[in-house]
Amino acid sequence: MQFLKLVRSEECHVNEQQLIHLAADGDDASINALAQQYVPVVWRLRRQYYVRNFDEDDWLQEGRIAVYRAAKKYQRLRQCSFGTYYRVLLSNQIIDHIRRTQARKRRPEGDILSLDVNDEDILCNIQTLRASTLDVVHVREQVRIFPAICSAFEGLVFMDLLAGQSPERIALSRQVEVDQVVNATDRCRKKMRDFLQDAA
């Protein structure tokens, strides 16, 4: 009985190795057979990761792509079982997809303009986005609240910058070094970026 189990185990291993070899060559039937064999891995990862707008077919397609990629690379590596290698590769593939989706969400829709631009000719030529009244109210509210999350000095520098004062003028009126104003401005810029991302 034990011998029979061992023989069947070796037959399965040989069959899987043949499937992997054929899948690496692009054989659709072998790719589908391996993908079907490892569907439980796909469902485990589906429970582990949330991918927005991914339905069952998308997950199965990612699984088939990962089988092909794993088969091609596994032929050279063979440092672990194919199942383990496939699971790691599919997991990384899903994580990469999530990262790309998140990166697209963070990408600005318009051109980025530095707050340090002083040239009026450049400012006059910039196409401004039409903002709704609700957007304007939202931004004004965020700007009004923002000094409360800054230190007292950062809040003063922020309000002076909004009033159109230069760092040199702020340093003179606040009786501090220009470097202190510049550093406070940098901290305000970072805090504002984080604050607006959290509010979005």
The CATH code that applies to domain 2-106 is: 1.10.1740
Q: Is pLDDT larger for residue 103 or for residue 42?
A: 42
Question: 109 CB contacts (<8 Å, ≥6 apart)?
Answer: 129
Range 120-199: architecture per CATH = Orthogonal Bundle (1.10)
- What is the distance between the alpha carbons of residues 95 and 100, in angstroms, rounded to a whole number? 9
- What is the distance between the alpha carbons of residues 45 and 61, in angstroms, rounded to a whole number? 13
Under the banding of pLDDT at 50, 70 and 90, the label for residue 77 is: low
Percentage of the chain beyond pLDDT 90 is 20
Under the banding of pLDDT at 50, 70 and 90, the label for residue 3 is: very low
Determine which helix (DSSP H) or strand (DSSP E) holds 112, and give its type and residue range: none
Say which amino acid occupies 40.
P
Distance (Å) of CA 51 to CA 48, 56, 107, 198: 10, 11, 19, 21
Say which amino acid occupies 44.
R
Q: Is pLDDT larger for residue 150 or for residue 170?
A: 170
Q: Give the domain ranges of the chain.
A: 2-106, 120-199
- What is the distance between the alpha carbons of residues 88 and 48, in angstroms, rounded to a whole number? 13
Q: At what angle do helices 178-199 and 133-145 cross, to 10 degrees?
A: 130
Mean pLDDT of all residues belonging to the chain: 76
Q: What is the mean pLDDT of residues 93-120?
A: 62
Under the banding of pLDDT at 50, 70 and 90, the label for residue 75 is: low
Query: Measuring CA to CA, which residue among 143, 146, 51 is closest to residue 97?
Result: 51
Query: Measuring CA to CA, which residue among 29, 93, 37, 19 is closest to residue 62?
Result: 93
Percentage of the chain beyond pLDDT 70 is 69
How much is the pLDDT for 120?
47
Tokens 């699984």 locate to: 63
Query: Measuring CA to CA, which residue among 54, 17, 51 is closest to residue 33?
Result: 17
Each residue's pLDDT tens digit, 167-190: 899 999 999 998 999 999 888 888
SS3 annotation, 30-78: HHHHHHHHCHHHHHHHHHHCCCCCCCHHHHHHHHHHHHHHHHHHHHHHC
Each residue's pLDDT tens digit, 30-55: 999 999 999 999 999 888 888 878 88
Under the banding of pLDDT at 50, 70 and 90, the label for residue 158 is: confident
